[in-house]
Amino acid sequence: MADEQRRGRRGGAPTSLRTSAVWSSVSELAARREAELGRPLRVLDLGGGTGGLAVPLAERGHHVTVVDPSPDALASLSRRSAESGVDDRVEAVQGDADTLGEALGDQLVDLVCCHGTLEVVDDPQATLSSLAAVLAPGGYLSLVAAQRLAVVLARVLAGQFGQAHEALVSPDGRWGAGDPLPRRFDAEQLLQMVEAAGLTVRDSHGVRLFSDLVPSALVDSESDRAALLRLEQEASRHPDFQFLGQLGAALHILASRD
C-alpha cells in the first residue's frame, strides 16, 4: 500500500481503519477478564512501540508493560502516555522476547499482546513459547501476524505477477528481495505454532480483508469507514465464507493458558 494511503488511515487503535477491528476484540476480552478477576489486568505488549495499543488499555485502568527494542519508540510511548495521563500505568522497557524475565521478574501477566511482531523476530516459535511462559493460568495471548495470501492477491492486483508467484511458493511468504517483511504465515501454520507453545486457541479470524486494497479516496468519510469496517467484521466471521479470513492481511488469534 502506498505511503500516502497509510498516512490517510493512521489513528489510535480504537478508531484507525487498520486496527479498530483488533482493538474491538482485545478491549472486549480485557473487559471480560477484568470482570472475572475483579481487578484491572496486568498486560504485556511485546513490540508495542509507541503505545497505540498500550495507552488505550491503560486509559481503561489496566497496567501495561511495553517491551520493545527501539529506544526511539519507547521515548514516544513515554510522551504519549504522559500526555494521556496514564504514565503511572504504562512501563516502557527496552528489550525483546529473550529479556522478558528481566522486564517482568517473577510476575505473570493476564494478557499478552503480540501484534505485528512475530514477523520480525529471529525465532517465532521460541518467541511464542516465551510469551506463553509469562501468562498466568487463565491468561490470554492476543496474536496478530501477517498472512501470505493477502500479499499474493495484492501483488496480482498491482500487476506484479512474478512477485505474486514468489510470495505464493516461497517458504517465508515474501514476494522478493525488496519485500519489507522478513516473513508471512499461513493460517494453519500460525494455529499450530500457538498450540505448540502450550496454548489453547479460542478464536481466530482474518483482519483487513479489504481495507488494504481499497484506495483511500473511497474512504473519505466516517460513514464510509464505518461501512467498510462492518463489512470486514461480518465477512471475516460469516459461516458460509470462512475462507475469506485467509485473505486478510493479518490473522488475529486469541488463545488462553489453561
pLDDT per residue over 162-209, tens digit each? 999 999 999 999 999 999 999 999 999 999 999 999 999 999 988 887
Q: pTM of the predicted model, to two decimals? A: 0.87
Q: How many helices (H) and strands (E) does the chain have?
A: 10, 7
Contact 127, 141 (CB under 8 A): no
Taking alpha carbons only, the member of 120, 125, 122, 117 closest to residue 143 is: 117
Residue with grid cell 494478557, as numbered in its chain: 111
- DSSP H helices, 106-182, are 124-133, 148-157, 161-169
| Residue 240: band (very low, low, confident or very high) from pLDDT cuts 50, 70, 90 | low
Angle (deg, nearest 10), helices 148-157 and 161-169 = 170
Percent of the chain with pLDDT over 90: 73
Phi then psi for residue 11, to 5 deg, are 160, 180
CATH class for the region spanning 3-147+185-256: alpha beta
Which residue, among 126, 124, 99, has the nearest Cα to 44 in the 3D structure? 99
Which DSSP string do the residues of 209-222 spell out, in sequence order?
SSTTTS-GGG--SH
d(CA 74, CA 243): 38
Locate the domains of the chain by residue range.
Answer: 3-147+185-256, 148-180
pLDDT of residue 7: 30
